[in-house]
Every structure is written in structure tokens, then in C-alpha cells.
Structure 1
Amino acid sequence: MEVGEGRNSTTVTWFILVGFSEFPKLTVFLFSIFLGIYLMTMFWNLGLIVLIKIDSYLHTPMYYFLNKLAFLDMGYVSLSSPKMLSDFFQKQKSISVTGCLMQYFFLSSFGLTETCLLVSMAYDRYAAICNPLLYTAIMSPTHCLKIMVGSGITGCCGSFIQLCGLLQLHFCGPNVINHFFCDLPQLMMLSCSDTFFLQVIISVIAVIYGIASVLIITISYGYIIASILKISSAKGRSKAFNTCASHLTTVILFYGSSTFVYLCPSSDYSLSQSKLASVVYTVVIPMLNPLIYSLRNKEIKDALDRWKKRIFS
């Protein structure tokens, strides 16, 4: 820490990430588990991206968005896991204030972009099931590209606004973050500045990106379920439900864990719970997403079978 000019306090220039150091006897075990999860996440998501790219039968809007979701999951997990893995065997688990803020900025950008993408995927399912005759026109390649670019820009804007609020904070100690990455609640707890302005920003973003997106997804699936129930064929209803079940599972896991992290009280007990929930949405969910979409998806299974036959023949 450095002495701040014109202040009687000190200015923090480094943060200490506690990570999972409270379990010293489990260091090797936890490292092995998280390394395995990280490698599987990268392998499965990259495999899904490649499969969607090379198989012409999967060149549809639904798989276009799934391709981008896999890319976001790879980026999201790569922003936190490598640092966490290296810290397992570091005596000084430090990160600069600038590095900490930038890590949160990119994590937030990927997270908010994924929020927008999940809304887009719900809209895609709505268009496919409720307006099948107009689906090709509604979800044209140009329109899909605009949605994806808009999601990325919207996510980055929301994250940049939070970064501007964070840059107004002053950190004068302590500098220990009880987490494995730089997250907003922990940074606000360590600040010795007034965080009211940042709390207002967070509330506005929570309404726009959280409540509004959940509301849009809920309304979309209300129309989708009503349309599915009108399908006379049991096989048709089952197929329609299966195409939506994977997306709904992802939505519930993503919003459930992230809501717990950002809405729970900041006691020592809840901090441990928050760390566990953060593991779910930053490490586990990116690994599960390709499995959730692949195991219940006949088109993905058929594409895998086609390419297995081509490879082994």
C-alpha cells in the first residue's frame, strides 16, 4: 500500500485473493477438480462450436445463438479459472487494483452479454413455435447478427457504467478479498468511499438486465406453452417441449446462482455461500451448458453420429 497524497490514509495498490486457502489440506484435490472442470469446459464448448460450424444441418438461428453461448462460456470461465488455479500454489495471492477492476469489467461484460443472449434465445423459441410460418423472415441471418451485436454492445455498456462507478471508489485498507476472483460485492465492502452512487447504478442495471430479462423470458414462455398445448400431436408437443427444456434449464441455473450471489446479505456465513454459488455460475454452468443442450437434443446427436461415421469410414 502507498500513502495517498493529501490524505492521512493509505491507498491500496494490491488486493489479496483468499480463494480457497481456508482448506489447505484440500489444495491438491481442489486444484485437480477445478483443472478438470476447466479443461472439460473448454473441450466441450469448443467441440460444440466446431460441430455447429461444420455441420450444415445445424446452420439455423437456434444453433447460431448456441454457438455464441458456447463462445461466451469459454471466455467467461477463462477470465476467472486460470488465476484461481495458479493461486492454489502461490504464497502471495495478489492482484493489482487495476487488474482487479479490469477482471470484473470483462467478467461483467460477458455475464451481461449472456443475459441478453438468453433473452434472444427465448425470443427465437417464441418465433419458431408461435409464428412458424414467419420464422425464417423474423430470424433471418442478418437479424440474428444484429441481435448478437446488440447483445454484445449492451453487455459492454452495462459493464462500462459499473466500471465508471468503481473508478470513483477509494481503497485504503483492508485489501483482502474473500473470494477467488474480483467481484463487485467484495470490492464495495473494501471501499472506504461512499458507495451510494454505485449502489444506485447496480440497482438500475439489476432492473434492466435482471428483472426485465426474466420478465421477457417468462412472457415468451407463457406464449410458447400456450402454443404447445394447442398442438394436437403428442409427438409434436414432446419435441417442442424438448427444444425449450434445455434453454429453461440454463436460464434457471444462471439466474438462480447469480441472484443468490448479488442479493444475499454480506455476513461471513453468506460470504462462504456466495463463494460456492459463484463457483456454480462462473465454473460449473459453462461446463454444463454444452451437455444440457447436447444430451436432450436429437439434432446434435444426429450431427455427432454423422461425423463419427465420416471419421471412422
Structure 2
Amino acid sequence: MEIKNAGGDAPTIATDARSIGAELVPGWDQPFTAQELDAIEAAVETAVSKKRRSVSGAGNDGEDRPGGVRRRLPGSFSSQHSMRVKLPMMTFGGRIAYSRSATDVERAAAELLKKINAMKSVMDQVIIGFDIEYRPTFQKGVQPRKTAVMQICGDNDHCHVMHVIYSGVPPSLKLILEDTSVLKVGAGIAGDARKVLKDYNVSVNAFQDLSELANQKLAMPRYRWGLASLTEVLLNKQLNKFMKIRCGNWEALFLSKEQQLYAATDAFASWHLYQVLKSLPDAQRNDIENNEEKLTVALP
């Protein structure tokens, strides 16, 4: 059974009664209970820990692997992934503007658009962190649910969390998403853009995938970076990816404070990580690729 991630990272595999068929399990499409999510979270953490050990290889960091080339990863990379629970949590500390009705989302987007236009006069390009959330599906072959939340952050102080499952995409928000002079940044953002187009017939123009930018900037083997792994490696912090929130009901009548903070922090992390990555010089990619094995696993 595939649990489709609400935030864009790689999907996680788990198994329970829902995998045997909707007709045999009444209520299969309802949100998991707290007990079920606790069990899933424990199973996922165990699986991720095994993946990290397999990625780092046998022995100490930098040791030769049988039949493979010598790989040397930064010490901080290995320590962060083996001692993840000891990293401080990354949390957005500014003001979260949550809106859900068509009127409120339009008003919030209009205020954001006004701010963006003012920023255009003093900077070459406006950058905003962008992410989406949607209620996950719990059965293979079932189409993903409609995008429920869009979150946008353009500085340290303000983040907009828009409950678009109830408001739709009003005119001002559409202008922001389609504006080619406003760069939207996020991990796996191309997939988010395709989903928004499919769900609302609105194009998300001018975007930068943080995973691609990281592979351009970091002197490491290529990875399919997720937001959480970039946060750990570049900021020495961890993102809240608890299943209770990540796989929660993003179509709830009102988002909880925890959901709002989760969504805002992802958008803020995207914006902040872009600033960090852009400040770095490009890595000497040819040298890395000639001397390092390309890894195809996806970090969380």
C-alpha cells in the first residue's frame, strides 16, 4: 500500500488492512487514528534508519566498500543522519496568516501581491517559498486528492497558509502563481506545479527545484534531495515530519494550529534554504562525477 506524501517527499510504503481492498474494509478512505499513525511512524523511522545505514555503507564514513569506489561524505552529513533525533527542530517563528474562505484568501493574496510588487522595485527577482498539502490516499491505484492547502513565504516574518480546498484559487493568488517574475522555490516543486495545474487549471510559472540547485552547489554525489534532508545537511536542524500531521486530514473544516505551523514551516524552510544554496559557489561537478558513485536512493 502506498501512502502518498502530503508534502512532496518520496512516498513511504506501509501495510495494513486497507491494502486488501476497499470493499472488504469499510471506511478505508478515512484518516488514520492516532494509534495507527503512531504505529506507522515507528515503522517508517525504522525503515529510514536502515536506508541511511545502507547509504553510508559498511564501516566508517569514507571507507572503501567491497566492489565499489571510495566515497567520502562530510562528517556533518553522517552524524546528522545517524543522530537525527538530537538535532533541534526547525520552526517558523513569524506570523502565520491562515485564510480559508474565498473572500479571505483573495484579501490575503491581494496583500501579498501588493508586497511583492513593492519588492520588485528594489530587487532583481522576488523569491517565495511555495509548497502544497493534500489529504493522502491509502490505497494503491486511487487518484490523489485535490490540493487542499497552499503555503507561501517570502521572508522571516510572514507566511500565508491558504485553505484553497474551500476557497479555490482567487484572482490575486492566480496572478502570483502565474507571474514569471516571481520565482517559486521548493523541493519537488515541479510535481506540485503539475498538481496545481491539474486540480485548479492554474499554471505555477517560474520555479526552482531545491534538489536540482543542491546538486549544482554541493560537492557531494547527486541525490534526490527532500526538504527534510536539505534542512539537516545545510542548517543542522530537522523538520517536523510526524505522520499525525503529515498524513492528517488537510481537508478538515479548519486547520489545526499544528497543521498551520507545519505548512508554514515547510514554505519558510524552502525560502530560507534557497538563500543558503544561492550563496554557495557552484561545485566542480565533473570532478565529483568522475570520482564518486552516483547514488539513486532518495533521502527523506
Whichever structure has more strand as a proportion of its residues is 2
Whichever structure has more helix as a proportion of its residues is 1
TM-score when normalising by structure 1:
0.26
Considering only CA atoms, is the larger Rg found in Structure 1 or Structure 2?
1
TM-score when normalising by structure 2:
0.26
